[in-house]
Amino acid sequence: MSQYTITVIKSEEEKPKPASDDLSFGRYFTDHMFIQDYSEDKGWHNPRIVPYQPMMLDPASMVFHYGQTVFEGLKAYRTEDGHIQLFRPNKNMERLNRSNDRLCIPSIDEEFGIDAIKHLVHVDHEWVPDAPGTSLYIRPFIISTEAYLGVRPSTTYQFIVILSPVGAYYDAGIDPVKIAVEDEYVRAVRGGTGEAKTAGNYASSLKAQELVAEKGYAQVLWLDGVEKKYIEEVGSMNVFFKVNGEVITPALNGSILQGVTRDSVIQLLKHWDIPVTERRISMEEIYQYHQNGELEEAFGAGTAAVISPIGELAWKGEQMEINQGETGEISRRLYDTITGIQYGVEKDPFHWVVRVK
């Protein structure tokens, strides 16, 4: 049997599916999951789709101790005519392998990874919701499983994919949020793991998030770890600003995640002949643009929210209101276009969409 033959063991019972207005995010999981094992002698082997079930792991498994793990996040969308489609899954598999390299995890076959995702989504296709704005969130992840307490890369791994039907991110249309610039805590630094999608980056972000939430902010804006001057990300999204008609976003520097939505935003803006520049952006610069009335829009971009407008930015005691706290024109156009492509109601000039079966 080839390493690319996926064994399927169907679940004997189907779980009840939650109502589409009760989905929220990442709370319910489908009937099946994908698992593939890695060992040094066999490489990646035994790919299988099995009933969704607990993992049995030795308490000494390295993932619990040394965090050698990577993950991805993408979605399957139900079109109006009932088809199911993915959005740029190749970008997720490419990034998974870049993350693998940084974390010393053996690379996966990217094409096979996409096939595995499609196969699993097909098996659980009844779980792809069809209410507006809903989708099936796909979480591929790899964990180190060797039962050993020495600090070195594991010799065994599991590649797993789980699926979760998720609700519309915005209950009542896209809605600007308040963001606080983070001056003390750091998410990532040059030479660290910021560019990789790995657990530790998220663990280190929790404290800052908890502290600003107490003050009524939705997320933090992360500055660079070296000078604490340059803008990196917002929450777990990439960030964009519209200044005097030009859209600017921090250039990739090794500590910023290479977002799939980020790339899609840049491609669309170019397609529309709207000037877009990737460069280093200081917080002081954004503050000056705001003071001069040149800061027209600000928004986060990521898989979960697609586009998340920033209505207010707090920095060093200053409250900067952006676009009167309203969603800007470019933010809305990007949101409508990207979600339109994802759900199959807009043209797909870049062939981003991949149909399942």
Binding site for its own copies (CB under 8 A): 25-27, 29, 33, 52-61, 63-69, 71, 102-104, 137, 139, 141, 143, 147-153, 160, 162, 164, 184-193, 198-207, 209-210, 225-226, 228, 235-236
Instruction: Report, in Å, the least distance between residue 262 CB and its own copies.
Output: 17
303 vs 327 by CB, closer to its own copies: 303
d(CA 96, CA 107): 8
Facing residues of 345 across strands?
Answer: none
268 vs 306 by CB, closer to its own copies: 306
Alpha helices per DSSP H over 174-328 = 199-214, 260-271, 283-291
CB 64 within 8 A of CB 46: no
Tokens of 196: 């990789």
Instruction: Report, in Å, the least distance between residue 269 CB and its own copies.
Output: 27
Q: What burial class does residue 306 get, using C-beta atoms within 10 Å of its C-beta: 0-12 exposed, 13-18 middle, 19+ buried?
A: buried
Q: Is the dihedral of CA 297, 300, 301, 304 positive or negative?
A: negative
Instruction: Report, in Å, the least distance between residue 16 CB and its own copies.
Output: 17
What b/e string do you get for 330-348 counting C-beta neighbours within 10 Å, with b at 16 or more? bbbebbebbbebbbbeeee
CA angle 54, 58, 63 (to 5 degrees): 85
Is residue 104 classed as helix, strand or coil in its secondary structure? Answer: coil
148 vs 287 by CB, closer to its own copies: 148
Instruction: Report, in Å, the least distance between residue 349 CB and its own copies.
Output: 31
d(CA 256, CA 196): 8
159 vs 241 by CB, closer to its own copies: 159
Instruction: Report, in Å, the least distance between residue 354 CB and its own copies.
Output: 22
d(CA 211, CA 184): 11
Instruction: Report, in Å, the least distance between residue 159 CB and its own copies.
Output: 12
107 vs 288 by CB, closer to its own copies: 107
105 vs 307 by CB, closer to its own copies: 105
Whole-Å CA distances, 88 to 58, 137, 260: 35, 14, 8
Instruction: Decide the pairing of beta strands 156-166 and 32-39.
Output: antiparallel
Query: Phi/psi at 45 (nearest 5 deg)?
Result: -150, 170
Instruction: Report, in Å, the least distance between residue 189 CB and its own copies.
Output: 4
Instruction: Report, in Å, the least distance between residue 61 CB and its own copies.
Output: 8
Instruction: Report, in Å, the least distance between residue 46 CB and its own copies.
Output: 16
45 vs 190 by CB, closer to its own copies: 190
71 vs 352 by CB, closer to its own copies: 71
- Count of CB atoms within 10 A of residue 252's CB? 14
The structure tokens 């005519």 sit at 81
18 vs 325 by CB, closer to its own copies: 18
